[in-house]
Amino acid sequence: MNRRAGKQTLKKVTLVNVEEHVEGFRQVREAHRRELIDDYVELISDLIREVGEARQVDMAARLGVSQPTVAKMLKRLASVGLIEQIPWRGVFLTPEGEKLAQASRERHQIVESFLLVLGVSPDTARRDAEGMEHHVSEETLACFRLFTEQRSQSE
């Protein structure tokens, strides 16, 4: 705001071309669609590693959602071949599901490491990485990895 004149001055915004704009929004929508799938398969993998099994009740508690919400998502994951549900035995990842969980875990670690190198506190870096990991491109992720590796080698 320009105090002398009492008027608000606005900066001119330059829009990118339509195709670039559409592509940016398409990427965000795809990331949102993939986000829950990634989080669920990663959690299932982590629970199996930590406690030997992944149960709906444990997933609901860790994600802060209801068991019916978890059940709905598990049906979706089963329909795309990422998990198998065995009655009275829990949830297991298919080889494709485990591959996706590992890729998601690696993305998270790269983003979290990058944030830590920048000086972000460990708790904040962990929480922020949880959201960012789904939205960074492979190109950006590669740059994060390279920057983190170079920074670690120089210390």
pLDDT per position as a tens digit, 23-74: 777 777 777 778 899 999 999 999 999 999 899 999 999 999 999 999 999 9
Q: What is the CATH number of the domain that holds 52?
A: 1.10.10.10
Domain annotation covers residue 124: yes
Domain range spanning residue 119? 18-154
Average pLDDT, the chain: 88
Domain annotation covers residue 5: no
Domain annotation covers residue 30: yes
Domain annotation covers residue 4: no
Q: Residue 90 pLDDT > 70, yes or no?
A: yes
Q: Report how many domains make up the chain.
A: 1
Q: What percent of the chain has pLDDT over 90?
A: 64
Q: Compute the average pLDDT of residues 87-115.
A: 94
Q: Are 70 and 76 in contact (CB under 8 A)?
A: no
Domain annotation covers residue 54: yes
Query: Taking the C-alpha atoms of 31, 49, 110 and 22 in order, what is their torsion angle to the nearest 10 degrees?
Result: 0
Domain annotation covers residue 6: no
Question: Bridge partners of 2?
Answer: 7
43 vs 46: CA distance, rounded Å? 5
Question: Bridge partners of 83?
Answer: 93
101 vs 44: CA distance, rounded Å? 8
104 vs 39: CA distance, rounded Å? 8
Domain annotation covers residue 10: no
Confidence of residue 119 (pLDDT cuts 50, 70, 90): very high
Domain annotation covers residue 137: yes
pTM: 0.76
